[in-house]
Chain A
Amino acid sequence: MSILHRNKPDFSPEKIYKKRRLSLEKQEARAALVFVLPFFIGFVIFGLAPFFYALYISFMDFNSFKSLDSLKWTGLSNYKAILNDSVAISSYFKSFYYTIIYVPLLTVAGFLAAVLLNKSFYLKAFSRSLFLMPYVANIVAISIVFTMLFDPFGGIVNIVLTKIGVDHPPLWFAGTQTAILTTALVAVWANFPFQMIVYLAALQGVPRDLYEAAEIDGATRWQKLSRITLPMVSPTTFFLVITATIGSFQNFTIFNALTRGGPGIASRVASLNMYEEAFSLNHYSYSAAQAIVLFVIILLISAIQWGGQKKWVHY
């Protein structure tokens, strides 16, 4: 009797539910494998591996055409070589110079444009889409137009400058002092719409009653901007500055399209110098070492920015 009872399947609702749950969990685990594995394999090969491969190559002697199995371990010699390479070192400073022009200007331009558009006016959607247009434009097309506009002799910009009485207008892309600066300005023009849209979304999140209370207390327009708007959007500013800084070192495309490192090597930023080392001189390991150094520099700058956020970011 008791044995029979024990073998009798339990059809109580709790048990069925539990069993069902278990099989659901099993099903979930299997589905997760199918859903994630293809992406994960691809991500490891094409997203993660190149970074570790770059790290590995940077310690080898792959500095001429040779087969991959004859590579030898050379320790830190590629890294030591950077210290004696004035072109490489100056390329880091050029990248840094570009970043400290580009990031602040980009952030300010994006914020100002957002403040301008965050009011009620006619043809709002139309104006906004015009503001966004530079962001979708092709960089090579941009470079074709801007090299003509900023041509030191015969470009529209300098024609206008000469007409209004500037005796020696800048050489823009062709000047050793101005090539990086001009490139940064074009990059700001092409990329500010992104910051603008993010700021517009952030501005809409600032509670109206804050401004109303400030108006009752007689706050000026400038006070409202500096005491309410700026602190309220500071987390957004922080996010935008961090990502723009990382992005600003990603400048191979714009420099290659606009200056190709010229005049001479005046605007040969780190990404261009790494390209030259690898693909003109076949110094693959040396180029990889320079890339790792650049990565460490970016990491340090991000860490400093991260540490500094307490002082000005209000959550």
Chain B
Amino acid sequence: MGALLMRKNLSKGLYSILIIFIALTMISPFVFMLSASLKTTADAFDDPLAHIIPKTIYWENYKTLFSSPDYFIWIGNSFKVVVISILLRGFMVTMAAYAFARLNFKGKGLLLFFSMSTLAIPSDTTVVARYLLYKYLHMLDTHWAIIIPAIFDVFFLFLLRQFFMGIPKEITEAAIIDGCSHYRVYFRIILPLAVPALMTMVIFSFVYIWNDFAGPFIFISSQGKQLVTVGLQYFASIAGANYSLQMAGASIVVLLPIILFTFAQKYFVEGIASSGVKG
């Protein structure tokens, strides 16, 4: 009995080691990136396989990075765009999702079908049209060209509608019968109960908008207004042969979403799982 248990534990242990090994291989590009950012370019690339953990840590790349004013402006711009987008998106999308989940009105089914069908249009196919539209609306080369279109997101409308529909009807109906308005029900009952779904939306939005490349690349032209993803590409081209410096720039950009994700992984996983299985 004891021997059997031990054998079972042993194989579980070996399996765990195998999985950790695969997982580390999976993130080895990040390890390489971080490692190279803490060395001189010569050290990092003459013999790239030696000393993954640097013998002496070389901070000069980060010092150069932090003394480059553009880099901070880009990070600040990205933060601004991400925060405003998430706030406005959260407001608009949850309101519409409440109506689609709880209210009866004419054309509801048709409207939902229409919105969902636009999910099948890859945004790459409407780039020219959007460029001309934003030009007409004087949104080009402003952060609004990224923020405003991000607000009206059909994917999250659908995700939140599904979540709201899962909240027991009895709770909201009782409140309505007692004379509570829909605005109060939405604010005081639905939103507080939907915090997990809202967290999912916040994290996904952060990752997607922070990492968006095509939007700022096409619609923002001034260097001072640029966001960090496109800025990083520009930064890399300036750093040129100074590869370690490029790696330092990349590390900071990667690190921020990873830190956020580490703290809120639960919502992230649940968000993906529910979008895939129920959708």
Interface residues of A (CB under 8 A from B): 24-25, 27-29, 31-36, 38-40, 42-43, 45-51, 53-54, 57, 68, 116-117, 119-123, 126-134, 136-146, 148-149, 154, 156, 159-160, 189, 194, 197-198, 200-202, 205, 236, 239-240, 246-247, 249-253, 256-257, 271, 274-275, 278-279, 284, 287-288, 291-292, 294-295, 298-299, 302
Contacts and interface: CB of A to CB of B under 8 A. Distances in A.
Nearest 8 pairs of A and B residues by beta carbon: A198-B276, A39-B96, A141-B250, A201-B273, A32-B105, A35-B99, A31-B182, A130-B23
A121 B15 contact: yes
Interface in B26-79: 26-27, 29-30, 32-33, 36, 45, 48-49
B24 interface: yes
B124 interface: yes
B99 A149 contact: no
A205 B149 contact: no
Given A50-B130, A240-B276, A291-B127, A40 B96 contact: yes
B198 interface: no
Contacts of B222: none
A138 B210 contact: yes
B103 A35 contact: yes
B243 interface: yes
B15 A119 contact: yes
B191 interface: no
Nearest to B279: A239
A132 B19 contact: no
Interface in B76-128: 92-93, 95-96, 98-100, 103-105, 111, 114-115, 118, 120-128
Contacts of B98: 35
A133 B136 CA distance: 39
Interface in B1-35: 12-13, 15-16, 19-20, 22-24, 26-27, 29-30, 32-33
Give the dominant DSSP class at B's interface: helix
10 contacts: A25-B104, A36-B99, A50-B130, A50-B133, A54-B126, A122-B12, A134-B26, A149-B29, A160-B49, A295-B125
A16 to B, nearest CB: 12
A35 B132 contact: no
A127 B16 CA distance: 9
Contact of A144 (B211, B217, B250): B250
Nearest to B49: A156
B29 A145 contact: yes
A35 B100 CA distance: 9
B118 A194 contact: no
A81 to B, nearest CB: 15
B122 A132 contact: no
Contacts of B246: 144
A25 to B, nearest CB: 8
B30 A137 contact: yes
B141 to A, nearest CB: 14
B243 A275 contact: no
Contacts of A252: 124, 127, 214
Contacts of A123: 16, 20
Given A122-B13, A133-B26, A299-B120, A274 B277 contact: no
Interface of B: 12-13, 15-16, 19-20, 22-24, 26-27, 29-30, 32-33, 36, 45, 48-49, 92-93, 95-96, 98-100, 103-105, 111, 114-115, 118, 120-133, 136, 148-149, 151-152, 154, 157, 176, 181-183, 186, 207, 210-211, 213-214, 217-218, 228-230, 232-233, 236, 243, 246-247, 249-251, 253-254, 257-258, 261-262, 265, 268-269, 272-277, 279
A145 B39 CA distance: 15
Give the dominant DSSP class at A's interface: helix
B249 to A, nearest CB: 8
A31 B181 CA distance: 9
B265 A129 contact: yes
Nearest to B9: A122
Contacts of A48: 114, 118
Contact of B257 (A31, A51, A136, A253): A136
Given A127-B20, A138-B250, A54 B152 contact: no
Contacts of A28: 103-105, 182
Contacts of B251: 141
A141 B33 contact: yes
Given A51-B118, A141-B253, A250-B122, A38 B95 contact: yes
B95 A198 contact: no
A208 B12 CA distance: 20
Contacts of B243: 148
Nearest to B274: A201
Contacts of A54: 125-126, 128-129
Contacts of B230: 140
Given A39-B96, A42-B92, A46-B149, A136 B276 contact: no
